Amino acid sequence: MKNMITFILLLTFLSACIPETAVPELVQTTQPLELIQETVAQTPVFYPTMNEKVLIVSQGNYYLANPDGSESVNLYSGGQEPLTTASLSPDRTKFAYYKNNFLYVLDIPGQTTVVLNREIIGSIGGNLRWSPNGSKLAMTCSTAPHPSNAICQIDAQSRQIEFLLKQKDVDQFCSGNYMELLDWSKDGTTMVYTCFIVPEKGQKQTFALYLYDLASKASSRVFDSSSQDSIWYLHSASLSPRKDNLLVSGANQAPVDQVFLLDLTTNELKQLTSGSEYHSDAFAWRSDSESFYLHKTLVLSPYTESNFVMNTNGEVLFQIEIIGAIIE
């Protein structure tokens, strides 16, 4: 219990130290293409089908909907309490979310919610992810018996918590710093996580990105802050369905959020978005592994938001007329 109290105090300290940007009310733009610098693609476009359901978050509200925002189903209202992290099962029938040290699962067709964990789970951050068959969930967690950060796997039926990877099991850098789960591959074989040091205000963050192979239980470092100067603050990373590319969202020194592509076959980092007018974030790949959902927010008032589909060459394929951001 003493460890858990210490952990909670640490989280409070970290929250105070990490730079945050206030999130004002977002307004949808009617002419977003005139405000961005990316090249519009002239090649054939893979448009989404209406059965390609996505998870949309807007002002703390979570929806299941078609990619154009139609046929939306409200899964969680942000007015209740903001969620730390959330995820939609691969079959689109379950919505998992974490708040106040507990992990919940909503059965969407039946509209029933269960609590998975019997003991309090702490989490410094990162993402929540489902296994491909929807039987397990993965997240960054700690418990009273295991107070250090770890990558955990929770069985959705038995509710048992398995500690897949602990800080001390990786390398010297991870063992002394913080760890966060960022993604789980579509085939269930690979997890993406980061270890990092919380930076002083205005200083570059020290971080490293790793891939964890569940079969061999081995980690490999694929990218870190020392190898480049484009990303000062790492926000998130998402592995393509083919597992050949990583989408990396992070802020530059300004700081303005940008989107990058890390080619895992060549280890080449390519910046896909640019400019100082918009914060750009990429949360979700599309099934073709060649394109992804891109969300942009104007840096200054009126904080206009817009959504697009972009390919891995940094070309805007088409605009999506929705409010909020597609995160899965």
> What SS3 state is found at 34?
helix
User: What's the CA gap between 114 and 117, in Å, rounded?
Assistant: 9
pLDDT for the residue numbered 79: 80
Q: Are strands 27-28 and 304-311 parallel, antiparallel or unpaired?
A: parallel
Q: Are strands 218-224 and 206-213 parallel, antiparallel or unpaired?
A: antiparallel
The runs of H, that is alpha helices, within the chain are 2-17, 172-175
Q: How many CB atoms lie within 10 A of CB 80?
A: 10
Bond preceding residue 109 cis, omega within 30 of 0: no
CB 185 within 8 A of CB 191: yes
Q: Report, in angstroms and rounded to the nearest whole number, the Rg of the chain calculated over CA atoms.
A: 19
Torsion of CA 120, 200, 220, 90, to 10 degrees: 50
Q: Which two tokens stand for residue 315?
A: 């070309």
For the chain, 328 residues long, the average pLDDT of each consecutive 10-residue run is: 41 39 32 38 43 87 92 89 93 95 94 90 91 96 87 94 89 91 97 93 93 96 93 96 97 94 96 94 93 95 94 96 93
Q: Domains (ranges, CATH) in the chain?
A: 2-25+51-282 (2.120.10.30)
Closest CA relative to residue 269, chosen from 239, 248, 286? 248
Question: For 269, which DSSP code?
Answer: E
CB 9 within 8 A of CB 2: no
pLDDT for the residue numbered 144: 86
